[in-house]
Structure 1
Amino acid sequence: MYDLIIIGAGTAGISAYKEAVKHTQNLLIINDGPWDTTCARVGCMPSKVLISAANRMHGIQHAEETALNFEGTIDTSKVMAHVRQLRDRFTAATLRDVNQWPDEHKISGKASFIDSSTVEVNGSQYQAKAFILAVGSTPAINAEWQQTLGRRLITSDQIFELETLPESLAVIGSGVIAIELAQAMHRLGVKTAVFARSRRVGTLSSPHLQNLAQQVLSAELDIKFEILPESIKNTAAGAEISFIENGQQQKITADYVLAATGRRSNLESLNLQKICSDFQDLKKLPIHSDTKQLADLPIFITGDAFTAAPVQHEAAHEGKQAAINCLNFKNPAKNKKLTPLGIVFCSPEMASAGQSFQQLTKNKIDFITGFASFEKQGRAIVLGQNQGGAEVYIDRKTHQLLGAEMFCPAAEHMAHLLCWMIQQNATLEDILNQAYYHPTLEEGLRTAFKHARRQLR
């Protein structure tokens, strides 16, 4: 019997293994599919390579914003090969690490539970005192569309395998993955249409910033708000999509349809009902929010398999803590909470740190909002990127920074600063007493904090 079995070798599983192996060599990690993480293979990294190429091309084509003239065409024929080349570089680094693990610690295959202490893999059974379930998630997909469209229906798992950029693309969804990939494809010259169930784009919960994002992004992208396809069929010319827009029946044809409507947990592959019949409904699993422990069993669920924050650093953090708790499952420690940090790599970028506007409002916390527009922000004008705005949320009584949301250039960097400020329980006075170099985008944050201070006074 093993001390620990880890199922899944994504970011959370790898992190769990690296921690667990410090304490015991009597362990096993089981993985179904590639051993190179979703992030490196089909997620964070290849998408950023694509976005980088797209933004570079967009910058060249809009050089007039910095008084430069560009005339000519840009060859995009090598973009997808470049994406895969760098993707393979990142995955190779992960695989080199995994390949150094002892062979007796690794099994490739699909695991399923026989009972609470036994799993079956490739026809053999393995027992353990504790388990970590880090099986990740899979893009949600419409089965009917998949049957109808075949290879023309793709997800973020397949898009980076395209040999060349398509001529046209229809994106279903308006969340993080949808907006990032749709804008990148559009900027690379792909005729792109986005079908959005609602009027929401990305992750912003602030009504003001959400409206701002809708205006800015829809000025560049063809976003069909509150419109979903009525029917889709496969034709010789491509995927034909029928929908109603402005009361009129419309049709468009696209080379591919990108399904970007979220992801579903891979826990269903584990047959958890064999452990307990109550575990049939994955949405009702009794998972302790503080420890990620399943009921009172020596089983912990980490990473994208069950999370409200499907981001890489959270998965790594949870995996490490789960390994520690598995070896002391009768008295598991609460996971140390990281200050929430989220980023959408569209342009302008979206980012959030700490508690969102929606969370603060829902919890009836008395806070004030400091706002700064980046349309007239000095450095943003210099860069030709003067769009969007930022909000900071200040506790009215304690003056502590509670959270922030941004839709502005370089939000990915400023969100880290804000996240660290929140982690240190910084007050408005503390923050405004720090250095702000001129001219920088960070001065825009200072403007938001000053706006908050005026309201407090």
Structure 2
Amino acid sequence: MSKSSDNQVASKADDQSSTTKITRHVDVAVIGAGTAGQNAFSQASKITKNIVIINDGFWTTTCATIGCMPSKLLIAAANRAHEAESSDQFGIHTEVRIDGKQVMARVQAERDHFANSVKKQVEGWPADKKISGRAYINKQGLIEVNDEIIKADKIIVATGSSPFVPDDWLNNLGTTLLTSDTIFELSDLPVSMAVIGAGAIGLELAQAMTRLGVAVTLFNNVNRVASLKDEAINQKAIECLSSDLTMKLATEVTEVGTLTTEDKKLQAFINYKDKEDNKSRWEGQYVLVATGRRNNIEQLGVGNLGVVLDDSNKPQDLDIATGQIGDLDVYIIGDANAHIPLLHVASDEGFSSGNAVCKDNDDAYVRAPAVPFSIVFCEPQITNVGMSLPEIKNSGLEYVIGEVSFDNQGRSRVMGVNCGLLHVYGCKKTHTILGASMVGPDAEYIGHIIANAITNDLSVKDLLNMPFYHPTILEGLRTALRDVQDKMSISRQPNDAQQDGL
């Protein structure tokens, strides 16, 4: 169907509109009120007042309520404790007492502050534009919610995602099971915990809990953390993180369950084996399952709009800028499309889809898809920017890898955070940066600089012409860039051979 043809969503509804009582006809319906949905609604509301937003559950965002902000609050407390406990190297000796109830109370209070800020924004929207309830798209392409039947000319789906837990784990672990949706509701810090999954969520929470005095064991089925695809960076990350985190990598969890202790307390257990088939058991208070999230779309009925999902529930024929599905007047955005489940991506997709639903698409302001960019807020931090090393190898592009170790980098050593490695992937043809991977101090800031360089098509020379103040951790980036320059046989400036940070 072409965009100039009759609207497919509307025409599906018209087929049987004579037998279905439509209670409302809108230009745009947004389903889901997380980051993506709220942005889409706000932008589309500037174009049309004939709009509705439907939401099942809390009217805040995953980030504010159960994601980015509460996890960073927990990490902030953990880092304070770690800095105090590791101050002996500076000649500062102190005794740290961690009040678990106070830690969790602050996490929850500040989390509620962020969530309430989002709620206030939503409360400012017209009441007749908001519907609380679970939406379903029927075979006529109409939206059923509560006692309403809504015909929408354009539909934006932003239903987010939920933690994935295998069914047998869900049943076997019972009340000892935690997910990223429930862990921040604990009133006190646990005594012990297993974390299954060493992706961003599992890694961050495992280390934070460890630094707060919880006995934590992190399990992962491969010898990898944070989904790192550069093996040298992965091995360095494992080395750095192993200093204060117990990890069981390349292990297979064969069984999970609960048992009752002698003092009649419920306890969790995990049976697992390593790659040599050696079998072991872990026992403790809770199991945090961090095996990824799945989009909330399968039960919505998007197939009745002509949307095709693959085996992973990812919509096919997706425009990654706007979330539009082919030439349908259907947009699937944020975590719901399972493209890149990160808040800044969801925000951009919401903004773009909200603009793209205007009648004259030529006037729409659609944000270009951002350079791939992720940060894991463990210590040391992990960041990946641009193309990954496997993607570059598969592309056939000629490349070089510039690197710098932070183990002896000047400011990093001064601060006592000198463990890390940065790889910058340079294109030999264009002298630009293709991507980068890093574990180390200040990775979030170095990642931003590299992302901006790729976005603005800056050359390695352009970056080296930027100021690097001494002594800073960011000087390590200059060392890696100079290494890229050397390997691409570009003329160097005088004194470039001097080591950064010393």
TM-score band, normalised by the shorter chain?
over 0.9
What's the secondary structure of 1:337's corresponding residue? Answer: coil
Counterpart residue identity of residue 395, structure 1: C
Counterpart residue identity of residue 269, structure 2: E
Identity %: 38
Q: Is 2:427 the partner of 1:398?
A: no
* Alignment match, 1:216: 240
Q: Is 2:400 the partner of 1:368?
A: yes
Where in structure 2 are the equivalents of 1:181-192 lying within 5 Å? 181-192=205-216
* Alignment match, 1:319: 350
Correspondent of 1:255 among 275, 285, 294: 285
* Alignment match, 1:415: 447
Q: Is 2:334 the partner of 1:308?
A: no
Contact 2:218 2:248 in 1 (8 A): yes
Contact 1:8 1:135 in 2 (8 A): yes
For 1:138-182, what per-residue CA distance to the aligned partner results, in whole angstroms no more than 9, with x for missing partners?
000111111122111111000000110000111111111010000
Contact 1:339 1:354 in 2 (8 A): yes
* Alignment match, 1:438: 470
For 1:90-126, what per-residue CA distance to the aligned partner results, in whole angstroms no more than 9, with x for missing partners?
0000000000000011000000101464110013211
Contact 2:295 2:338 in 1 (8 A): no
Alignment partners' CA distance in 2, 1:136 and 1:300: 13
Q: Is 2:181 the partner of 1:157?
A: yes
TM-score (norm 1): 0.96
What's the secondary structure of 1:371's corresponding residue? Answer: strand
Contact 1:239 1:254 in 2 (8 A): yes
* Alignment match, 1:38: 62
* Alignment match, 1:239: 268
- Point out the structure with max Rg over C-alpha: 2
Q: Is 2:299 the partner of 1:286?
A: no
Alignment partners' CA distance in 2, 1:13 and 1:172: 30
For 1:241-295, what per-residue CA distance to the aligned partner results, in whole angstroms no more than 9, with x for missing partners?
2222464432221111111010111011202233349558564633333442223
Where in structure 2 are the equivalents of 1:26-425 lying within 5 Å? 26-115=50-139, 117-237=141-261, 238-245=267-274, 247-276=277-306, 283=313, 285-290=315-320, 291-328=322-359, 336-425=368-457
What's the secondary structure of 1:293's corresponding residue? Answer: coil
Contact 1:5 1:27 in 2 (8 A): yes
Q: Which range is displaced more, 125-134 or 447-456?
A: 447-456
Q: Structure 1 unaligned runs (5+)?
A: none
Counterpart residue identity of residue 120, structure 1: E
Deviation of 1:77 after TM superposition, in Å, equals 3.2
* Alignment match, 1:8: 32
Alignment partners' CA distance in 2, 1:384 and 1:280: 48
* Alignment match, 1:22: 46
> For the structure 1 residues 45 and 83, does the alpha-carbon distance in structure 2 shift closer, same or farther, using more than 3 Å as the test?
same
What's the secondary structure of 2:384's corresponding residue? Answer: strand
Alignment partners' CA distance in 2, 1:364 and 1:431: 25
Alignment partners' CA distance in 1, 2:212 and 2:109: 18
Alignment partners' CA distance in 2, 1:44 and 1:25: 32
What's the secondary structure of 2:54's corresponding residue? Answer: strand
Deviation of 1:388 after TM superposition, in Å, equals 0.7
> For the structure 1 residues 3 and 165, does the alpha-carbon distance in structure 2 shift closer, same or farther, using more than 3 Å as the test?
same
Report how many aligned residue pairs link the two structures.
Answer: 457
> For the structure 1 residues 384 and 349, does the alpha-carbon distance in structure 2 shift closer, same or farther, using more than 3 Å as the test?
same
> For the structure 1 residues 72 and 212, does the alpha-carbon distance in structure 2 shift closer, same or farther, using more than 3 Å as the test?
closer
Q: Which range is displaced more, 181-190 or 347-356?
A: 347-356
> For the structure 1 residues 254 and 241, does the alpha-carbon distance in structure 2 shift closer, same or farther, using more than 3 Å as the test?
same
Counterpart residue identity of residue 60, structure 1: A
Deviation of 1:65 after TM superposition, in Å, equals 2.8
> For the structure 1 residues 439 and 51, does the alpha-carbon distance in structure 2 shift closer, same or farther, using more than 3 Å as the test?
same
Alignment partners' CA distance in 1, 2:438 and 2:85: 26
Contact 1:66 1:382 in 2 (8 A): no
Alignment partners' CA distance in 1, 2:310 and 2:385: 35
Deviation of 1:73 after TM superposition, in Å, equals 3.3
Alignment partners' CA distance in 2, 1:390 and 1:424: 21
Q: Structure 2 unaligned runs (5+)?
A: 1-24, 262-266, 490-502
Counterpart residue identity of residue 8, structure 1: G
